[in-house]
């Protein structure tokens, strides 16, 4: 299984600012995903991070709010832009080699004041 | 739209008991089903993956079954231990023919398990 790290592990941010979350994998993977887990809720997919092209966003999520980069097969970033308290969540990166098991990073706990 | 339901929402058992967690999904056209464990404030740990063509998977004290036609899966935990206390999440991926985000995991809300010493 892949080993996934995320930075930062947690942060407290002010309303209106932006935060970039990094996801690093210890091996090359085909698929990388970003999920959000709001307090007391289950996980919701934000977007699929595509290497060499724009991310594919799920309904209800837009690039201006959640820009994503994927410069290579082991790294991706998610930016949460112009934050509001409603963005307070755990953000998780996951990876897959295709139609197989998905593995998750430890998550980034974001609190917006 | 795929919906995943997990019952019960919370479960408290004494140590040593065998237990079953339930997961149901509305669209039987899935590619696979995965069970995860989430400790408080942490990421997810993959427990078991069942492909749509399989009926069950086993890992140690865990056994997961899949009845795709009825849209159900169960996670059986034998001889529970306090260290098993966590939230257990069930998630499914779309079938290949569905198009769109075929790799997308659709999650249930989880079952919060507490195993008391």
Q: Tell me the pLDDT tens digit for each residue of B67-99.
A: 999 999 999 999 999 999 999 999 998 755 444
Confidence of residue B35 (pLDDT cuts 50, 70, 90): very high
Residue A52: the pLDDT is 80
The residue of chain B nearest to residue A89, with distances taken between CA atoms, is B41
A41-A44-A50 Cα angle (round to 5): 155
Residue B102: the pLDDT is 63
Q: What percent of chain B has pLDDT over 70?
A: 93
Residue B101: the pLDDT is 52
Highest mean pLDDT among A7-11, A41-45, A48-52: A7-11
Q: Say yes or no for a CB contact (<8 Å) between B34 and A42.
A: no
Confidence of residue B31 (pLDDT cuts 50, 70, 90): confident
Q: Say yes or no for a CB contact (<8 Å) between A96 and B110.
A: no
CA distance A82 to chain B (A): 24
Q: What residues of chain B lie within 8 A of the CB of A33, using their CB?
A: 103-105
pLDDT, mean over chain A = 92
From the list A6, A35, A101, which residue is nearest B34 (CB)? A101
Q: For residues B18-24, give the mean pLDDT.
A: 97
Q: Say yes or no for a CB contact (<8 Å) between A42 and B31.
A: no
Task: Report the range of poorest mean pLDDT among A14-28, A78-92, B2-16, B30-44.
Answer: B30-44
Does the pLDDT value for residue A96 go beyond 90? no
Whether the CB of A75 is below 8 Å from some CB of chain B: the reply is: no
3-state secondary structure chain B: CCCEEEECCEEEEECCCCEEEEEEECCCCEEEEEEEEECCCCCEEEEEEEECCCCEEEECCEEEEEECCCCEEEEEECCCCHHHCEEEEEEEEECHHHCCCCCCEEECCCEEEEEEC
The residue of chain B nearest to residue A58, with distances taken between CA atoms, is B101
φ and ψ at B114, to 5 degrees?
-120, 125
Q: Say yes or no for a CB contact (<8 Å) between A100 and B34.
A: no
Q: For residues B97-109, give the mean pLDDT.
A: 71
Q: What residues of chain A lie within 8 A of the CB of B102, using their CB?
A: 99
Which tokens is B59 given?
């890992």
Rounded alpha-carbon distances, angstroms, from residue B98 to A61, A102, A109, B23: 21, 19, 33, 21
Residue B42: the pLDDT is 82
Does the pLDDT value for residue B100 go beyond 90? no
């Amino acid at each position: 299984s892949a080993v996934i790290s995320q930075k930062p592990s947690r942060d407290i941010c002010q309303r209106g600012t932006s935060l970039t979350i990094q996801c690093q994998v210890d091996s090359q993977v085909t698929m990388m995903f970003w999920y959000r887990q709001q307090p007391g809720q289950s996980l919701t997919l934000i977007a699929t991070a595509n290497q060499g092209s724009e991310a594919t966003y799920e309904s209800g999520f837009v690039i201006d709010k959640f820009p994503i980069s994927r410069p290579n097969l082991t790294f991706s970033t998610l930016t949460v832009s112009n934050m509001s308290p409603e963005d307070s969540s755990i953000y998780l990166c996951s990876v897959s080699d295709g139609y197989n098991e998905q593995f998750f990073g430890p998550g980034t706990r974001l609190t917006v004041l | 739209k795929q919906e995943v339901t997990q019952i019960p929402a919370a479960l408290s058992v004494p140590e040593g008991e065998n237990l079953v967690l339930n997961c149901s999904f509305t669209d039987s056209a899935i590619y696979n089903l995965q069970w995860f464990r989430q400790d408080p404030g942490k990421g997810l740990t993959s427990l078991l993956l069942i492909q749509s063509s399989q009926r069950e998977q086993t890992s140690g004290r865990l056994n997961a079954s899949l009845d795709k036609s009825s849209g159900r899966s169960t996670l059986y935990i034998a001889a529970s231990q306090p260290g098993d206390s966590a939230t257990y999440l069930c998630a499914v991926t779309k079938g290949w023919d569905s198009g769109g985000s075929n790799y997308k995991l659709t999650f249930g809300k989880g079952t919060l398990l507490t195993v008391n010493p």
